[in-house]
Amino acid sequence: MTILITGGAGFIGSHLVDHLLNETNHRIRVLDDFSTGDATNLEHLDTDRLEVHTGDIRNAKTVSAAAEDVDFIYHLAAAVGVQNVVDNPLESLRINLRGTENVLEAAHADNIPTFIASSSEVYGKSEDLPFSETDDRVIGPTTVTRWGYTTAKATDEFLALSYHRKHDLPIVIGRYFNIVGPRQTGEYGMVIPTFVEQALTGEPLTVYGDGTQTRSFTHVADAVQVTHELLETPDAHGEVFNVGAPNPTSINDLAERVLEMTGSDSQISHVPFEEAFDENFEEPDRREPDVSKLESVLGWAPETDLDRILADVIEARSETRPGVT
Ligand code: NAD
C-alpha cells in the first residue's frame, strides 16, 4: 500500500510518517512545500519506503499527481498558527480552503479514504465545556482576522462531509486540541516550545493576557496513533472526532511547571493580547474536549501527562542546543 501525507514535513505530519513507517509496511509519500515544515524533521529516516514531493496543495495538478496510486490520504498541510494566520490572512485562507478542496477532489477521483486535520479552533469562543462534536460554534466577526482560520477549517469540514454524503467518499475529520511534542516550533505562536526555549535561554516566559486561560495539551505520539486508527476504522468514516486529552491546564500553571522542570530562573512576564497581536484580537478563554465519541469508536482516548510532554520537549530542545540546560 502507498499512503499520501500532505504536510508530512511538518510537526504532526513527520511524527505520522515515523509512526506509519514503524507500525506498517506501507510506502509513504509526503507532499509539502516546506513553508512551515522542515526537511530536518525527516532527515533521520533512511528508507526507500519514503518519497518526498515538494509542491503546493493550492495547485490541483500537483495534488492529483501526488495522489496517484495511493490507498489512503492524511491531509495535514495547512497554514497553521495564530500568529501566521494573523500575519498572512489571504494566503492562509487560500491554502486552507483551495488546498483542502484540491485534496478532496483528488481523493474523490479514486475514492481514496482521507483523513482531514481540523482544529479545536472550530469551537471558537464557546464557553459550553467540554466541547462535543455536535455543539454549537461561537465565532467572532469577520473583521477579526484570527476567525478566518476557524472559518476555513469549518468549511473544510463541510466540504469533506459533503463529499461523503454526495459521493460516499470515506472521509474522517479529526479536530486536534493543542498537540505538542518534539519538533514543534515556537515560531508561529505555539506556547510550549516558546516557553521551553525562553526558559532554556534565560529569557522571560511571555504569558499573553492574565494567564488564567486554559488549554488541553495532547502528546503528538497519541495524536498520530488516533489519526492512524480513525482512518482505518470504517465506522469512523463520515464522522467528526475531537482528538485531544481532557484535563485542562492554565497558562500560568504551565509556565510555572516549565520553570520547575528546566530549573530555569527566568521570570514570567504577562503581555496584553492587544500588545502581542492587535487591538481587535480575541482569544478563547478555555478549551477542553469531550472525548466520549472517540472512546466509543476506538476504545481509548489520549490522557494528558503534561510532565511527560514537557520532559520530551525539553530533552529534544536540549539536544539541539547542547550545553543549554
Ligand atoms: P506544521 O506547520 O508543522 O505542519 C503543516 C505542514 O503543511 C508544514 O510542513 C508546511 O510546510 C505544510 N504546508 C503549508 N502550506 C502548504 C502548501 N500550500 N502546500 C504544501 N504544504 C504546505 O503544523 P502542524 O501543527 O503539524 O499541523 C498539522 C495539521 O494539524 C494542520 O492542518 C493544522 O491545522 C492541524 N492542527 C494542528 C494543531 C496543533 O496543535 N499542532 C491543532 C489543531 C489543528
CA–CA separation, 231 and 104 (whole Å)? 15
In this structure, how many other beta carbons lie within 10 angstroms of the beta carbon of residue 197?
19
SS3 state of residue 189: coil
The residue to mutate among 5, 15, 16, 36, having the most atoms of ligand 1 within 8 angstroms of its beta carbon, is 36
Ligand 1: atom nearest CA of 34 is 11
Per-residue pLDDT reduced to its tens digit, 257-282: 999 999 999 999 999 877 776 666 67
pLDDT-derived band of residue 118, with 50, 70 and 90 as boundaries?
very high
Q: Is 264 in the pocket of ligand 1 (CB under 6 A)?
A: no
Ligand 1: atom nearest CA of 9 is 9
Per-residue pLDDT reduced to its tens digit, 32-46: 999 999 999 999 999
In what order do the strands lie in the sheet containing 27-32?
Answer: 50-54, 27-32, 2-6, 72-75, 114-119, 171-176, 239-243
pLDDT at res. 324: 47
- Tell me the residue ranges of DSSP E strands in the chain: 2-6, 27-32, 50-54, 72-75, 114-119, 171-176, 179-180, 205-208, 214-215, 218-219, 239-243, 249-250, 268-271
pLDDT-derived band of residue 325, with 50, 70 and 90 as boundaries?
very low
Task: Please give the distance, rounded to the nearest whole angstrom, from the Cα atom of residue 96 to the centre of ligand 1.
Answer: 10
pLDDT-derived band of residue 12, with 50, 70 and 90 as boundaries?
very high
Task: Please give the distance, rounded to the nearest whole angstrom, from the Cα atom of residue 323 to the centre of ligand 1.
Answer: 30
Radius of gyration of the chain (CA): 19
- Arithmetic mean of pLDDT, 231-248: 96
- Arithmetic mean of pLDDT, 92-114: 98
Q: Are 83 and 20 in contact (CB under 8 A)?
A: no
pLDDT at res. 321: 62
pLDDT at 203 over 50: yes
Contacts of residues 83-90 at CB distance under 8 Å and 24 or more positions apart, as own/partner, are 83/188, 83/189, 83/277, 84/36, 84/188, 84/189, 85/145, 85/146, 85/148, 85/149, 86/145, 86/146, 86/277, 86/278, 86/281, 89/145, 89/148
- Arithmetic mean of pLDDT, 66-92: 93
Q: Is 37 in the pocket of ligand 1 (CB under 6 A)?
A: yes
Q: Is 119 in the pocket of ligand 1 (CB under 6 A)?
A: yes
Q: How confident is the prediction for the chain on average, in pLDDT? A: 94
- Arithmetic mean of pLDDT, 285-309: 94
pLDDT at res. 255: 98
More confident residue, 6 or 323: 6
Q: Are 70 and 115 in contact (CB under 8 A)?
A: no
Q: Are 144 and 86 in contact (CB under 8 A)?
A: no
Task: Please give the distance, rounded to the nearest whole angstrom, from the Cα atom of residue 66 to the centre of ligand 1.
Answer: 17
Closest CA to 12 of 198, 148, 202, 181: 181
CA–CA separation, 163 and 105 (whole Å)? 9
Query: Computed from CA positions of residues 17, 297, 237, 235, in that sequence, does the dihedral angle turn out positive or negative?
Result: positive
Q: Which residues are catalytic?
A: 149
Q: Are 23 and 232 in contact (CB under 8 A)?
A: no
CA–CA separation, 8 and 148 (whole Å)? 24
Q: Is 80 in the pocket of ligand 1 (CB under 6 A)?
A: yes
pLDDT at res. 281: 67
Task: Please give the distance, rounded to the nearest whole angstrom, from the Cα atom of residue 262 to the centre of ligand 1.
Answer: 28
Q: Is 241 in the pocket of ligand 1 (CB under 6 A)?
A: no
Q: Are 30 and 61 in contact (CB under 8 A)?
A: no
Q: Is 178 in the pocket of ligand 1 (CB under 6 A)?
A: yes
Q: Is 93 in the pocket of ligand 1 (CB under 6 A)?
A: no
Query: pTM of the predicted model, to two decimals?
Result: 0.95
The residue to mutate among 76, 83, 95, 216, having the most atoms of ligand 1 within 8 angstroms of its beta carbon, is 76
% pLDDT > 90, the chain: 85
Alpha carbon dihedral 200, 88, 241, 165, in 10-degree steps, equals -160
For residue 134 the three cell numbers come to 455536535
